[in-house]
Amino acid sequence: MEKFKQRWEIQKNWQLLFPILGVLVTFYSCYRLLNRFAEDLHLGFKIVLTFLFSYLLIRFFLFLFKKLENKWKVTYKWEMIVIFMVFAITGSSSLFVGRPLMKWIGITKENLNITVYWILYIIIGLIFYQLLLVTFGWLFGQHKFFWEFEKKMLRRFGLGRFLQ
C-alpha cells in the first residue's frame, strides 16, 4: 500500500478515495455498457468481460496519465484522477441538463428539422458543459485547473475578449 501511495503522491488516507472511486466507476461503466450492448450474454460471461474491459480501460487511463502528467500542471498525481472524474461527470451532466431544457423550450425532433435540432442540442450542451466544468471543478477542489482550462477553451472558441 505504501508503494501505491508513494506512486500517486498520496499524503493523507482520504486521498485514497479518488483512485478507489476511479476504479469502481470504471468497473460500473464497463458493466453498464455490456448490459446495454450485449444484454443477451450470460451474467457470468458479462462479469468476466467487465473485468477484462475494465482492466484494458484502466491501462489506457494510466497511459493517458503519463502523457498528460507534464502537460497539465498539477501538484500531485492523484489530482489527475480527480480531473478525469470531473470531465466524466461534466460530460454526462451536460447531457442530462440539455435534454430537459430543450423539451421545456419546446424544441423536439418532431417539430424541427433534425439537422437544426442536433445543432441546437450541441450548442446548448456546450454552454452547459462550460458552466458545469468550472462548477464541478470547484466542488472537487480543482477550481484553479478548470478555470485555466476554461479560459483556454473560450479563447479557442474566439470568445477570449469576454475574459477581460
- pLDDT at residue 22 is higher than 80: yes
The candidate with the shortest Cα–Cα distance to 144, out of 84, 90, 83, is 83
Residue with cell 480501460: 57
In this structure, which amino acid lies at residue 42?
A: H
Confidence of residue 164 (pLDDT cuts 50, 70, 90): low
16 near 10, Cβ under 8 Å?
A: yes
Q: Which amino acid is at 77?
A: K
pTM score, whole prediction = 0.73
- Report the pLDDT averaged over residues 83-90: 88
74 contacts 147 by C-beta, under 8 angstroms: no
| CB of 145 closer than 8 Å to CB of 137 | yes
Average of pLDDT values for 63-79? 82
> Domain residue spans in the chain?
1-71, 72-164
Question: Is the predicted pLDDT of residue 162 greater than 80, yes or no?
Answer: no
Greatest C-alpha distance within the chain: 59
Q: What is the DSSP letter of 142?
A: -
